[in-house]
């Protein structure tokens, strides 16, 4: 039976688009049932509309009370019988009630080789700027499960990329995004095929 996936995105949602395309072409045995966003004007919403994917806007404006807002996440995810949540550039912290309900069922993509350049304040171009400033020889991307601490959940897959002398934060971001698309799809495919197990905070992929 197809796993049901909800994607959380705040911007263009390139990883959302990539995963959806992998589902469409049969590489991932799943169904994208929902997009959750805090930004009603983001590109991810446009893509959802074009592809007839249901979406829900949850933000401070529509749900000013935090308890109501957190409950709304729970209700909508349950309504769509969500098996897996994918974070794809979602700029809000996931509520504790959702992390508890979906333990080891929430994946995030991070544009560095965690634990390097992870944690509060490290996101997007800020990560790439830090890598360039540190003159690292390698960077990469990490797919991990989400827990209560920023970027501290169990790592599922990492892949690195070499930096050249001419790289800047922008060119590095393009290299890393290619890796993100590749390994995120791989992690989601493994989850949907029931090939992922977690023991003592370590993730095993049984291919």
If you average pLDDT over residues 158-183, what whole number do you get?
97
Q: Give pLDDT tens digits for 51-88.
A: 999 999 999 999 999 999 999 999 999 999 999 999 99
SS (H, E, C) the chain: CCEEEEEECCCCCHHHHHHHHHHHCCCCCEEEEEEEECCCCCHHHHHHHHCCCCEEECCCCCCCCHHHHHHHHHHHHHHCCCCEEEECCCCCCCCHHHHHHCCCCEEEEECCCCCCCCCCCCCCHHHHHHHHHCCCCEEEEEEEECCCCCCCCCEEEEEEEECCCCCCHHHHHHHHHHHHHHHHHHHHHHHHCCCEEEECCEEEECC
Q: Specify whether domain 112-117+125-143+157-207 bears CATH 3.40.50.170.
A: yes
CATH 2.102.10.10 is held by the domain 1-102: no
Our answer to whether residue 128 is catalytic in this structure is no
Task: Using a cut of 0.85, tell me whether the model's pTM lies above it.
Answer: yes
Q: Which of 110, 128, 144, 181 is catalytic?
A: 110
Asked, colleague to colleague, whether 1-102 and 112-117+125-143+157-207 share their fold, the answer is: yes
Domain coordinates in residue numbering, the chain: 1-102, 112-117+125-143+157-207
Confidence of residue 24 (pLDDT cuts 50, 70, 90): very high
pLDDT bin (cut points 50, 70, 90) of residue 207 is confident
């Amino acid at each position: 039976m197809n796993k049901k996936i909800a994607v959380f995105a705040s911007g263009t949602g390139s990883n959302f688009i990539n995963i959806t395309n992998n589902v469409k072409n049969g590489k991932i045995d799943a169904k994208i049932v929902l997009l959750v966003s805090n930004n009603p004007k983001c590109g991810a919403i446009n893509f959802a509309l074009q592809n007839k994917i249901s979406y829900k806007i949850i933000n401070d404006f529509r749900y000013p009370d935090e308890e109501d807002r957190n409950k709304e996440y729970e209700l909508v995810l349950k309504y769509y019988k969500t098996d897996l949540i994918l974070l794809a550039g979602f700029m809000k912290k996931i509520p504790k009630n959702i992390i508890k309900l979906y333990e080891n069922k929430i994946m995030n993509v991070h544009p560095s080789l965690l634990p390097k350049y992870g944690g509060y304040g490290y996101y997007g171009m800020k990560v790439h700027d830090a890598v360039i400033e540190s003159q690292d020889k390698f960077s990469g991307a990490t797919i991990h499960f989400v827990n209560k601490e920023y970027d501290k959940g169990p790592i599922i897959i990492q892949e690195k990329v070499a930096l050249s002398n001419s790289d800047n934060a922008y060119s590095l971001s393009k290299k890393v995004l290619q890796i993100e698309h590749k390994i995120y799809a791989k992690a989601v495919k493994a989850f949907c095929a029931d090939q992922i197990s977690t023991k003592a905070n370590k993730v095993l992929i049984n291919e």
